[in-house]
Structure 1
Amino acid sequence: MRLLSLTLSGQYKGLRDQTFSFDAAQGNIIAFIGLNGSGKSQLLELIAESFGYLERFLRSDFKCRNWFPALSIELRYNNQAYDSEDLTSTYSVQINQMGVVILYRDGILVELETGEHSGIEEEILPSQIIGYSSGLNENLQRAFMKNTIQYLDVMNVKRQWEQRSAVINEARNEKGKRLTEMDIELLERQFKEAYRYYQTRHPALFPILPEESSLSDNANIGLRPTALPRLKYFDQDTTALMLASMGMLSDAEQQAIWQGKQRFNKIQSVTLRYDLRKFTHDAGALLDIAKLIECLANMHSCHFQALTRVSKTSEEFFNQFELDYLAGKITIDFSDFRVQDILTSSFFTPQVLFEKLYRLQLLAADFWQSETKRQLRQDNFERSAKRPQKWKSPIHVLSLKLTDGQQCIEFDDLSDGEAQLIQILSMAATYRDSRVLFLLDEPETHLNPSWRTYFHSFVESAIGIENEKAQIFVSTHSPFMVSSLKRNNVYQFRRSDNGMIEMKVAQNETYGASFDVVIKDLFDLRSLISQSVIDEIREQLKQGDDHAKEWIEQNLGLSAEKAYLIRKLSQ
């Protein structure tokens, strides 16, 4: 995935009538720099909103309602075909003011029929769009939340159908009651009428039934599967599930991903709590949890505990899903090397296991406030959308422990910098083989200066330096990041006098530039010592040069500014 440019016609917050071009950039990482409020995060938001809308438009099971008024977008990007390692096409995708999408592939118009699009999104969209913010940037996660609600709506339609068809099937299977032909005919008609109701409104989920089919033929009809949203936002809960999945990897693989910079460099154990009592309509989720429990059942190092007051499932339910309890705790001890082998044989990769757990977490949006969900169903909603701080979830990490080979520590007890580096590198490694677009808002905020100087190389190593499938946009205030990138990969943001945002490529070469030069050139600082100290120096100068020189020698630490002032005052 390579985003080449985004052209905006109209206004989105502080962005207006401009083209943001990245086609001269080289490598995986592009940095957005600038002062606070200069618009870096707004462009990340707009990129996320644009691709989020494209997914909703192209997916037949998602819905589009109202694109941003008086706003049109053109995206140009290269994308590697999902079924080919060699075929790469250049796409120009336009979203006009009415929300209509026009697509060109290698300069040729592609006809997009209304209704089902036969999976064309697999061809033209990134397979993954990953969002992350180290702060409380609720605006960035908004686009991701919109598609989460779309996924929830689809699953709720399936739940409604399950409940409705269950009533009909219960009448048919009622014990001790002999059904007449008239009763059977009535049930057949009710089933088909109910199914036709859903099939007409949700054709992407409900396949057309054969004309001569009977109720017995379709009692266990399989609805079309629902894929996860391509947009995935990594908050604290999501990151914990991802790290739990990383325990599948060997010790050497985990240490290689984390670059040997962490003292605690291996996942020791994880305890997951699941509760599917409200989500029995998601057969995939039930089967995934059952599979996880079953594959670990014979491991003495791992164990399952049913939650109190949770009864065993019925015999019929167990026969269908092989799941004894709809709620419980699963503890996985990765110190037993056999666990890694068993999980790999069942789930293949950490990405597969993570996404099976993640699909459960998405269903937790059912507990969000009704007003929040209503707002997020509107494509043009652009304000902050707040998720509850403490929210219920069908899947939750109760404990995640890391080890250095001798001692263990809870992930929550790591320093912010240690946790952040593990999160970012694990995300990069998990999705490095996907056609992925990363949108990272200040991902190195908590790192110490030493780690910041290496952050660029850490990420490149985790994603693969020669990886042409991945592209990473990073908003940052770090001169360390800027000094690691060529100028064509560094984009400076400023606000003009009228409040609009301007973006331009860094004017001077940034690769290898000293930090003081980067700070003065790109962050508008004239001096590298504190402004309050400069104000105090000016006050001392009012009392004469000799007094000021003596004060400077006695009070200031070493700096180029101190040497310059003393030399100047000594002349």
Structure 2
Amino acid sequence: MKLLRLQINHHFRSLPAGFKLIFREGDDNLYENIDEPICLVGVNGSGKSNVLEALAEIFSYLDQTFLRYVNSHSDSPLINSFEIEYLLPIAYDMRSIATDLDISGKEDFIHVKIAKLNDVKPTFYYYLNGVEKIIGTDFQSFMPKRIVGYSSGQNELLSIPFSKIKFRYYNTLLQEFKETYRENVEYSRLKYVDYEENYNILLSNFLMAKDNEADVLKETISIEEIESFELIINRNQSKKGALPIDVDIDKFLTFFESRSNYKYQKKPNVTVLGYTDIENLKIELQNNFGDAAGLYTLFKRLGYLNLNFVDKISIDLLLASDIEIYNNYDISDFSPKDKLFQIAEVNVRKSNLNYPINYKSLSDGEHQFIHVIGTLLMYKDESSLFLFDEPETHFNPQWKYEYTKTFKKITDRFKSQIIMTTHDPVLLSGLSKENVIVFNKPNNGLERTYKPDKDLRGMGVDAILTSEIFGLNSTLDSETLNDFIERRKLLIKKEKGELSDIENEKLTKLSYHLMDIDYNKPFADPLYKDFIMAIEDLDVYKQTEISRSEIREREEIAKQIMKKLNDNGL
């Protein structure tokens, strides 16, 4: 899918009522940079992360409207009035729908719009030759197949709508098992990737990889293979009204129990299963459970059974509509106190070591890489929306430079959309201006959001930091920058013959202090001398940080000075 537009009609977090965000400017540039992520950048507290939270809230609400036992309109959603537009790729199984909607089948996308007014059910639309038409049935076909969230920070607000929809599905599954004639309930399309998912993502990718599918993980984090791992299966189901183990899950558990290389009882009905013959296990897993996404889906279903061990009061608390629940939210409050199934003691072989190591001993950056890239690998063939909140915080500069290139290698340019926040100029340095949205705090009459005037690709980190995006006057540290400004003033006074003895001594000390810095060449170039003399009294060159308008002013001043110098034959 490809997001086009978001509008929120009442305030949400720090986003004001009527907030609008254009992700992509329509058909004219649809195929330009379509395989790049859209990056939200800007100062802290400007609302970047709130956009990800809003998208998660909206799709969580929409997903629950398809549930049989959830009256999704009885508790007003946090975003009760909104519009969202996106382009949905026409998959093979959607061709008949496209035909019914008079779409020729030559298009790559269906243009979808979803609009909701306060306390009214959402309406789905599509566009045909620029004309808006209502979609009457089969709404689920016009939703992305997957919405995946990830946050590297301690602020867990992004995970809330993912947690809520998980428990709504859990409650629906419980109700369905009470019925004689049950509906086939698909599991939620929303998935939040937290630290506990790390094992699931790692094993799914490495045990199910075919035809070098996991090479990007192996090459970057130097993991060659899984050496060994253990599973813990807890068949104690003491809670009344618990979600039962169905036939498919029982088959899955029995498979692992029968293929273990060793086993022992941890306590009654709690079995630890160990696996050391990984190569043979991989063959059998791939023959029985398909691909990485297939294995991961089974892990996800087991995750719903793990919710049997969550206190019902905690579940009801989370599903309450009271905004205070959000203000006091702690993800640990809603984690299972025990589990039916869990992965433990994973050991891996790394190419740069001659002995296996425990997976937990990997660095934060390696874990983060597996989180994000491993998830992209699993869902690369589905129409997916990925909401990544600063997914590069633990990376070294080399990984950051390669990050967006890695995205392009994995994701289908038509099927997937990555929306991410970042503060990192290294990561941004390979992107086009169309794929960057800059956020300002709502003050001083500045635009709340805008797209840069220049492509970031090819600018380099220093140029990005001193551009309108970050607004630094220099990439030097403030102490060194102040020394340069002071030294410049003294050089100008010396040139004019106005330097006192004390000032001359100070100039000598500053020049000595700065002598090892590359551009400490006092007036060696006459052109540089004239330029410095010309900007002597301009305050915009003396500030540590500058605004977007001041950047424009500085650029115009530089052009005028250079024109004057050129006119003088320099």
TM superposition score normalised by structure 1: 0.76
* From 48, 66, 83, the counterpart of 1:74: 83
Q: Which amino acid aligns with 1:9?
A: N
Work out the percentage of aligned pairs sharing the same amino acid.
20
Is 1:395 equivalent to 2:337 in the alignment?
no
Q: Which amino acid aligns with 1:344?
A: Q
Aligned match of 1:190: none
Give the direction of change, closer, same or farther, for the CA distance of 1:63–1:549 in structure 2 (3 Å limit).
Answer: farther
Deviations 1:125-160 (A, max 9, x none): 11110000111231111110110110221234356x
* From 521, 527, 530, the counterpart of 2:477: 530
Give the direction of change, closer, same or farther, for the CA distance of 1:486–1:523 in structure 2 (3 Å limit).
Answer: same
Structure 1 residue runs without a partner (length 5+)? 113-119, 162-198, 200-205, 208-222, 311-326
2:329 is paired with a residue whose SS is coil
Aligned match of 1:413: 361
Superposed displacement of residue 415, structure 1: 1.1
Aligned match of 1:123: 141
Aligned match of 2:498: none
Q: Which amino acid aligns with 1:551?
A: L
Q: Which amino acid aligns with 1:385?
A: Y
Deviations 1:64-117 (A, max 9, x none): 1333478521011111345147673211101211142111123211236xxxxx
* From 390, 394, 399, the counterpart of 1:446: 394
1:439 is paired with a residue whose SS is strand
1:429 is paired with a residue whose SS is helix
* From 362, 371, 376, the counterpart of 1:428: 376
Is 1:502 equivalent to 2:448 in the alignment?
yes
Q: Distance in 1 between matches of 2:447 and 2:187?
A: 34
Superposed displacement of residue 43, structure 1: 0.4
Q: Distance in 2 between matches of 1:250 and 1:422?
A: 14
Give the direction of change, closer, same or farther, for the CA distance of 1:265–1:31 in structure 2 (3 Å limit).
Answer: farther
Is contact 2:365–2:394 with CA below 8 Å preserved after alignment?
yes
Aligned match of 1:337: 279
Is contact 1:494–1:502 with CA below 8 Å preserved after alignment?
yes
Q: Which amino acid aligns with 1:413?
A: S
Give the direction of change, closer, same or farther, for the CA distance of 1:503–1:250 in structure 2 (3 Å limit).
Answer: same
Is contact 1:94–1:102 with CA below 8 Å preserved after alignment?
yes
Q: Distance in 2 between matches of 1:544 and 1:475?
A: 47
Aligned match of 1:135: 153
Aligned match of 1:350: 292
| More moved, 226-235 vs 391-400 | 391-400
Q: Quick one: higher RCO (CA 8 Å, sep 6+), 1 or 2?
A: 1
1:374 is paired with a residue whose SS is helix
Aligned match of 1:457: 405
TM superposition score normalised by structure 2: 0.76
Deviations 1:399-442 (A, max 9, x none): 22221254222221111112212221111110000111000011
1:360 is paired with a residue whose SS is helix
Structure 2 residue runs without a partner (length 5+)? 96-104, 491-501, 534-570
Q: Distance in 1 between matches of 2:444 and 2:306?
A: 42
> Matches of residues 181-330 of structure 1 in structure 2 within 5 Å?
207=181, 223-250=182-209, 253=212, 255-258=214-217, 260-278=219-237, 282-284=243-245, 287-294=248-255, 297=258, 302-310=261-269, 327-330=270-273
Q: Which amino acid aligns with 2:19?
A: Q
Q: Distance in 2 between matches of 1:309 and 1:70?
A: 47
> Matches of residues 88-107 of structure 1 in structure 2 within 5 Å?
88-106=109-127, 107=132
Aligned match of 2:14: 14
Give the direction of change, closer, same or farther, for the CA distance of 1:232–1:15 in structure 2 (3 Å limit).
Answer: same
Give the direction of change, closer, same or farther, for the CA distance of 1:367–1:229 in structure 2 (3 Å limit).
Answer: same
Is contact 1:9–1:73 with CA below 8 Å preserved after alignment?
yes
2:407 is paired with a residue whose SS is helix
Is contact 2:38–2:419 with CA below 8 Å preserved after alignment?
yes
Aligned match of 2:559: none
Superposed displacement of residue 290, structure 1: 3.9
* From 119, 130, 135, the counterpart of 1:110: 135
Q: Distance in 2 between matches of 1:129 and 1:380?
A: 24
Deviations 1:502-536 (A, max 9, x none): 11112222122111111111112111122244456
Q: Over aligned residue pairs, what C-alpha RMSD do you find?
A: 3.2
Give the direction of change, closer, same or farther, for the CA distance of 1:337–1:367 in structure 2 (3 Å limit).
Answer: closer
Q: Which amino acid aligns with 2:134?
A: L
1:135 is paired with a residue whose SS is coil
* From 475, 491, 497, the counterpart of 2:421: 475
Give the direction of change, closer, same or farther, for the CA distance of 1:436–1:231 in structure 2 (3 Å limit).
Answer: same
Is contact 2:12–2:78 with CA below 8 Å preserved after alignment?
no
Is contact 1:67–1:99 with CA below 8 Å preserved after alignment?
no
2:219 is paired with a residue whose SS is coil
Q: Distance in 2 between matches of 1:139 and 1:295?
A: 36
Q: Distance in 1 between matches of 2:210 and 2:349?
A: 11
Give the direction of change, closer, same or farther, for the CA distance of 1:365–1:387 in structure 2 (3 Å limit).
Answer: farther
Superposed displacement of residue 240, structure 1: 1.7
Give the direction of change, closer, same or farther, for the CA distance of 1:267–1:463 in structure 2 (3 Å limit).
Answer: farther
Is contact 2:201–2:370 with CA below 8 Å preserved after alignment?
no
Q: Which amino acid aligns with 1:288?
A: I
Give the direction of change, closer, same or farther, for the CA distance of 1:151–1:415 in structure 2 (3 Å limit).
Answer: same
Give the direction of change, closer, same or farther, for the CA distance of 1:50–1:3 in structure 2 (3 Å limit).
Answer: same
Is contact 1:285–1:356 with CA below 8 Å preserved after alignment?
no
Superposed displacement of residue 443, structure 1: 0.6
* From 22, 34, 37, the counterpart of 1:27: 34
Aligned match of 1:196: none
Aligned match of 2:66: 58
Is contact 1:38–1:501 with CA below 8 Å preserved after alignment?
no
Superposed displacement of residue 559, structure 1: 5.6
Q: Distance in 2 between matches of 1:436 and 1:504?
A: 25
Superposed displacement of residue 370, structure 1: 5.4
Deviations 1:183-214 (A, max 9, x none): xxxxxxxxxxxxxxxx6xxxxxx53xxxxxxx
Superposed displacement of residue 14, structure 1: 1.7
Deviations 1:446-470 (A, max 9, x none): 1101111111101211224xx3111
* From 151, 156, 164, the counterpart of 2:169: 151
Give the direction of change, closer, same or farther, for the CA distance of 1:394–1:134 in structure 2 (3 Å limit).
Answer: same
1:457 is paired with a residue whose SS is helix
| More moved, 237-246 vs 549-558 | 549-558
Q: Distance in 2 between matches of 1:549 and 1:285?
A: 82
Is contact 1:103–1:109 with CA below 8 Å preserved after alignment?
yes
Superposed displacement of residue 287, structure 1: 4.0
Superposed displacement of residue 239, structure 1: 2.5
Q: Distance in 2 between matches of 1:449 and 1:236?
A: 23
Is contact 1:363–1:394 with CA below 8 Å preserved after alignment?
yes
Superposed displacement of residue 226, structure 1: 2.7
